Structure 1
């Protein structure tokens, strides 16, 4: 982001509060007024994730369950189609669950910095550690979408604003902790799995953003690494 002044810069990290876009992984059928009867390319995987009978054939009950998942996480079109975007969200959830309570098992987030907030873009997880000790997390996050990627590297929290409001988008950014220009940790009023992502900020649930606010302070380190799927 170009330098347009401190206040102007920070607002550019606001999450993308726009309708989710279908990712360039394939397209679902056009929006319809009712549930689709078509089986999607990821039908079996989606059925298994939702605890449905895994037969690869779309049923009315399958569609209802898929639509509920899509509605919860802002996936469009919300017609119950087991397409690449829906499966992509589910697959990410599976990978996040597999991480368990050892998010820094690969040692990529520095352990010689004392207290530090880590962000793994590849699995969309963040946590706080102190040396080799896990302090909080890992928690799911929503980072920058394609073209607005959350920048990688070692950074520091330089400004905090508990009741920040974006003057650019006129939307609230509670518990904002800015660490790189306009990019910040903050809570968001939608699913953290809502595709395609933010405008660069690290979105969190209100609970997690509030906890980060209590555990971090100005000057604390932040380390961002990896690459978000689809960017």
Structure 2
């Protein structure tokens, strides 16, 4: 896995800037893992995809995730800092399927992947979107009746519990405990976008000062670019 830095960072920004959030996750992984076929990444269970995104976050932006959340009780802003290694250790090995019996029939659901989620993006009705998702993930035999939707949804939630990252935070204002859902794909994209725009600014400044090409500046280490930027302001 390659870190999103230099040319890869700019490529990730350029490719994903106008994509849907689900597609952005795949684009970032595809650039970091060029040896893996894009369709293989799209077929990964969401929990495994999120684990890869966390690993990419670790090597691209460091060992600590920092962010903000709002208290669900008093709406106060809360700042949090989480070690990425700890988040990775908290993610259980993903379960790829779950089976159960209902009315003397055996049913099985496989874990949803990004392609499954993309298939529901344009469906406005929540119930209809859930049905499409269940239909795609349900493994049935020809002629077999479908399971109860309520039970299938319950099993679906159990199957995908490992793909969710929930953090308990104590509000500094009201002292109540609040839970924060960390969408690693969206979080990583914001960091990629901000880092890419900073790099574009650095390239603009150094290119004007020294006449260097975009690729030459982008390939420099962050420390070396920062040193040249300090010299231009001296």
| TM beyond 0.5 | no
Name the TM-score, length of structure 1 as normaliser.
Answer: 0.23
Q: Which has the higher contact order (CA 8 A, sep 6+)?
A: 1
Higher strand share: 1
Highest CA radius of gyration, 1 or 2?
2
TM-score under structure 2 length normalisation: 0.23
Of Structure 1 and Structure 2, which has the larger fraction of its residues in helix?
Answer: 2
